[in-house]
Amino acid sequence: PFVFIEDGAVIEENVSIGAGSFIGKGVKIGTNTKIGSNVSIECAEIGKNVLIYSGVKIGQSGFGFAPTKKGHIKIPQVGNVIIGDNVEVGSNTCIDRGSHGSTSIGEGTFIDNLVHIAHNCIIGENCIIAGMVGLAGSTTLEDFVVMGAKSGAVGHITIGKGSQIAAKAGVSKTLPPGKIWAGFPIREINTWRKEMLSLRMASKDKKNDEK
């Protein structure tokens, strides 16, 4: 009920679309994809066997503006979103269209609820992105990257293949592949653990001195 599909959209076989969803002009949705209720999809190509949960917004304009002395000028967003096969997108997640070119999500990537992926991000294959992660524009995640809950990344950086980012960590620079990271500013997790232990011990020593 109350699904609206604009002219020119392509819906392949065995696709299901939940109540109240909107499919925009020119959108392509692959075979066996399942779309929940109140989903909005514009300017996007969706692969096969994709699972999109309720409330997801795909292909809306990214946050692009140019500051001037008289105020901010909106930069037109004219790109799209490409989502590969076998991807899951959790409830109320937002994936912005590219400002130019594409925002892309690689095959086999799983995205949790309440994630924001900004314009022109490139997400590799088989990544895991936990709830409330935020990725600024033009961030690249190579294959098999894991982003813990509430972690985030500044724009225009690359997180190397197989990297694991701990919950609430802030990625402020390009990271090499295959390591585990934590904290803000980001550092390797063993370094972060040692720092946290040192702070804890220093706090205990101070309390003992006060006694």
CA–CA distance, 144 with 121 (Å, rounded to integer): 15
CA–CA distance, 168 with 186 (Å, rounded to integer): 10
Four-CA torsion 146, 149, 153, 158, nearest 10 degrees = 0
Catalytic residue among 72, 116, 119, 156: 119
CA–CA distance, 26 with 43 (Å, rounded to integer): 7
**What pairing do the DSSP bridges indicate for beta strands 51-52 and 4-5?**
unpaired
Could you confirm whether 72 is annotated as catalytic?
Answer: no
Strand intervals (E) in 31-153: 34-35, 40-41, 44-46, 51-52, 57-58, 65-68, 71-74, 80-83, 88-89, 94-95, 102-105, 110-111, 116-117, 122-123, 128-129, 134-135, 140-141, 146-147, 152-153
Which residues are catalytic, by number? Answer: 119
